[in-house]
Amino acid sequence: EVQLVESGGGLVQPGGSLRLSCEVSGFTFSGYWMHWVRQAPGKGLIWVSGINTDGRTTRQVDSVKGRFTISRDNAKNTLYLQMNSLRAEDTAVYYCAREGDPTIFGVGFDYWGQGTLVTVFS
């Protein structure tokens, strides 16, 4: 059974930092692109960042460039999101998500974690 379990969320003041983790099981982690998607309370989904299979290629949405860093440890089956210089507008549930078969375009995010809540408040 495929499982993605996020952790690391919590309360933080503006300007602070948090590191989110997503531990996966049930599939060959090193064979898939992985992503972070966030959802502010009562709002829609926003893609945050993605990373390729070996961790050498990363992508981010403009609003987090220079502040958030995605990484992965294939030996530990774990995806990370280092979040620095946090702002109130970063408050959201953060989901990790697996992108489907890497040999096929347009497969979407086929497995999602349960999410971890990040609250930035002063």
Partner 1 sequence: SYELTQPPSVSVSPGQTATITCSGNKLGDKYVCWYHQRPGQSPVLVIYQNTKRPSGIPERFSGSISGNTATLTISGTQAMDEADYFCQAWDSTTAVFGGGTKLTVL
d(CA 89, CA 87): 5
Task: Report, in Å, the least distance between residue 32 CB and partner 1.
Answer: 14
Exactly one of 62, 75, 103, 122 binds partner 1 (CB under 8 A); that residue is 62
Q: How many binding residues for partner 1 (CB under 8 A)?
A: 24
Which of the residues 3 through 32 are near partner 1 (CB under 8 A)? none
Judged by beta carbon, residue 9 or residue 50, the one nearer partner 1 is 50
Exactly one of 9, 18, 20, 50 binds partner 1 (CB under 8 A); that residue is 50
Strand partners of residue 98 = 34, 111
Which of the residues 69 through 108 are near partner 1 (CB under 8 A)? 95, 97, 100, 104-108
Contact 29, 103 (CB under 8 A): no
Sheet holding 78-83, edge to edge: 3-7, 18-25, 78-83, 68-73
Where are the strands (E) in 18-91, listed by range? 18-25, 34-39, 45-51, 58-60, 68-73, 78-83
List residues near partner 1 by CB under 8 A. 35, 37, 44-47, 50, 59, 61-62, 95, 97, 100, 104-110, 112-115
